[in-house]
Amino acid sequence: MNRKIALITGANKGIGFETARQLAQKQITVLLGARDNAKGESAAARLKSEGLDVHPIEIDVANEQSIGQAAERVEKEFGRLDILVNNAGTMLDDDKKKVSEQSLETWRRTFDTNLFGLIATTQAFLPLLRRSEAGRIVNLSSILGSITYHATPGSPVYDFKTAAYNVSKSAVNAYTVQLAYELKDSKIKVNAAHPGWVKTEMGGEGATMEIPDGARTSVELATLNNDGPNGTFVHLGEPIPW
């Protein structure tokens, strides 16, 4: 129990999977969260074969019962949580439709996972994080959530209006600031991470970053020292405009 305990949601593939690997390589016990238990077990087995201390845990962030059951399991087996990486996310926008044409169903499903699921997971695990000597919450955001950049012609994302996804990440940023303020006098730090444009299923073939580099920001924020930042939005240590 001298090892730190980390939970990563949506960790059976992509950036979440690589984040699990890199944290486990730092001698952290990693709970690899996946909504599909079989996929979670398969992913965890791959990392275990590398000699890493990784355990699958079933958690669907869009299902409050699933979140509650996962929190009960972590409390029973470990008694605390040191790191929560809210990595699970989805992009459902129809790229053939304009901002005003995206269906309400798309908006609701996107927010259910990217925002409400993130909040529900954080609320469920916060009591366990309070038992940590140095709790860390990492909220996976995106540069596409930067309102400043979206309002600035010529910015890196000005022409990328995937509306539901973008706005959900803006809301994640806002929630990060609110929660960081609440916890500013505690041992818990809360930050938002932009992983970069990464070669994942969501990032697509044109992405410029490899997955190992895409996980670096999450890992850095998950392992901050006590004098590290709180309530920031960063990519590889560099701030991003809100």
At 1, is the pLDDT very low, low, confident or very high (cuts 50, 70, 90)?
low
Catalytic residue among 165, 175, 189, 199: 165
At 73, is the pLDDT very low, low, confident or very high (cuts 50, 70, 90)?
very high
- Is the pLDDT confidence value at 204 over 90? no
Structure letter (DSSP) for residue 62: T
Please provide the size of the chain in residues: 242
CB contact set of 68 (below 8 Å; sequence gap of 6+): 124
Q: Count CB-CB contacts under 10 A for residue 96.
A: 6
Catalytic residue among 4, 149, 169, 199: 169
- Is the pLDDT confidence value at 207 over 80? no
169 catalytic? Reply is yes
Contact assessment for residue 124 and residue 68, using Cβ atoms and an 8 Å cutoff = yes
pLDDT in tens, 28-41: 999 999 999 999 99
pLDDT in tens, 157-198: 999 999 999 999 999 999 999 999 999 999 999 999 999 877
Superfamily per CATH, domain 60-65+77-239: NAD(P)-binding Rossmann-like Domain (3.40.50.720)
- Is the pLDDT confidence value at 200 over 90? no
187 catalytic? Reply is no
pLDDT in tens, 77-118: 999 999 999 999 999 999 999 999 999 999 999 999 999 999
Rounded to a whole number, what is the distance in angstroms from the first to the last CA of the chain?
38
Cα of 119 vs its chain's centroid, Å: 11
- Is the pLDDT confidence value at 19 over 80? yes
Domain ranges of the chain: 60-65+77-239
Question: Residue 138 has what pLDDT?
Answer: 98
- For the residues 66-85, what does the mean pLDDT come to? 98
Tell me how far apart the alpha carbons of residues 31 and 185 are, in angstroms, rounded to a whole number.
Answer: 27
Half-sphere exposure of 183 (CA within 13 A, CB side): 24
The more confidently predicted of residues 172 and 205 is 172
Mean pLDDT score across all residues of the chain: 96
Question: pTM of whole model > 0.85?
Answer: yes
**Nearest 5°: CA angle at 11, between 19 and 119?**
100
